[in-house]
């Protein structure tokens, strides 16, 4: 990512590099692993992997702003608007979003596949995906009635799941292969990921998680934990992980790393 910013001076560049440092790199990993499963060379998949991390980082920078979640910590470090200021955070996020589309357009694959990657990333990150899910989340904070379980699943399918699904299906799309199995894997994984986040908000330690915890309960938000109970949420997450692993049966042992990733999602401490 830093290579793409060489020759760019000032706080915006520094904030972009800062925002993309650290983290689990789950989405980039899913791009690279799904590409490997479909015979796409790592160097050809790398631009798409960098793109999804740039776009994810933009979403976090904006999500942390005072007008959104108003967070002081991200990945154990001060959020971008705390380290710099709100204007720098907004502009760094904007620049990371546009960089993502620059990067994905550099993916080496057939023209039709590259156009699909660009267009599907726009859908996954826009009002029909991540942005739409975030809007539902913000609206839920002031709604008269808490969200139902079905409504939370719809919200999270956009806010968290859409980018995860794009990442996990990037490989077959690059190879112009069937993406159905990896799409279902990603949908189960994305929901399990969000349930794990809800559990960490209850059980996690801020120093380990790298961001504030206990905010959902404090705000009275409906979550998987509040609706299912802690044990019920854990059971649901594990059920989703099992389903995600099962749908990979057609890939045999070649998909064992993706199965391990699914287990990691619910076992993680941050």
Confidence tier at 61 by pLDDT (50, 70, 90): very high
User: Does the pLDDT at position 3 exceed 60?
Assistant: no
212 φ, ψ to 5°?
-65, 145
- 3-state DSSP assignment of residue 100: helix
Give pLDDT, residue 206: 73
Comparing C-alpha atoms, which of 57, 56, 52 is closest to residue 19? 57
Contact 23, 30 (CB under 8 A): no
| pLDDT(208) > 80 | no
- Predicted pLDDT at 210: 67
> E-strand spans in the chain?
73-74, 77-78
- Candidate from 103-112, 194-203, 235-244 with smallest mean pLDDT: 194-203
pLDDT value at 264 more than 90: yes
pLDDT for 6 equals: 52
Tokens (6 digits) for 215: 């905010």
Give pLDDT, residue 5.
Answer: 56
Average pLDDT over residues 164-188: 98
Q: How confident is the model at residue 9 (pLDDT cuts 50, 70, 90)?
A: low
DSSP SS3 for 9: coil
DSSP 8-class letter at 255: G
pLDDT at 18 exceeding the cut of 80? yes
104-119 burial string, b = 16+ CB within 10 Å, else e? Answer: beebebeeebbebbbe
The percent of residues in the chain predicted with pLDDT above 70, rounded, is 91
Give the pLDDT of residue 7. Answer: 47
Q: Is the pLDDT of residue 138 over 70?
A: yes
Say what the pLDDT of residue 144 is.
87
Measuring CA to CA, which residue among 230, 228, 207, 226 is closest to residue 216? 226
What pLDDT does 218 receive? 58
- Give the pair of three-digit tokens for residue 54: 């740039």
Which range is least confidently modeled, 35-39, 206-210, 262-266?
Answer: 206-210
- Look at 82-86, 212-216, 234-238 and tell me which has the smallest mean pLDDT: 212-216
Domains of the chain listed by start with CATH number: 2-267 (1.10.600.10)
Span 237-251, mean pLDDT? 97
pLDDT at 50: 98
Among 26-40, 63-77, 192-206, the range of highest mean pLDDT: 26-40
């Amino acid at each position: 990512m830093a290579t793409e910013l060489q020759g760019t001076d000032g706080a915006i560049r520094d904030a972009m590099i800062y925002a993309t440092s650290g983290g689990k790199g789950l989405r980039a990993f899913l791009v690279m692993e799904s590409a490997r499963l479909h015979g796409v060379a790592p160097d050809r998949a790398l631009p798409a992997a960098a793109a999804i991390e740039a776009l994810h980082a933009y979403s976090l920078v904006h999500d942390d702003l005072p007008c959104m979640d108003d967070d002081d910590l991200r990945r154990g470090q001060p959020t971008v608007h705390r380290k710099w200021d709100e204007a720098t955070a907004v502009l760094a996020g904007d620049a990371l979003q546009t960089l993502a589309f620059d990067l994905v357009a550099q993916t080496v694959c057939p023209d039709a596949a590259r156009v699909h990657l660009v267009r599907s990333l726009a859908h996954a990150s826009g009002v029909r995906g991540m942005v739409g899910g975030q809007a539902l989340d913000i609206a839920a904070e002031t709604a008269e009635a808490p969200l139902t379980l079905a409504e939370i699943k719809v919200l999270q399918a956009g806010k968290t799941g859409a980018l995860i699904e794009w990442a996990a299906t990037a490989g077959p799309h690059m190879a112009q292969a069937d993406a159905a199995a990896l799409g279902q894997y990603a949908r189960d994984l994305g929901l399990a990921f969000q349930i794990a986040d809800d559990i960490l908000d209850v059980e996690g330690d801020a120093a380990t998680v790298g961001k504030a915890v206990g905010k959902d309960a404090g705000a009275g938000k409906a979550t998987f934990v509040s609706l299912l109970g802690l044990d019920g949420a854990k059971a649901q997450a594990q059920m989703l992980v099992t389903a995600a692993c099962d749908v990979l049966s057609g890939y045999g042992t070649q998909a064992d790393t993706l199965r391990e990733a699914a287990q990691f999602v619910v076992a993680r401490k941050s």
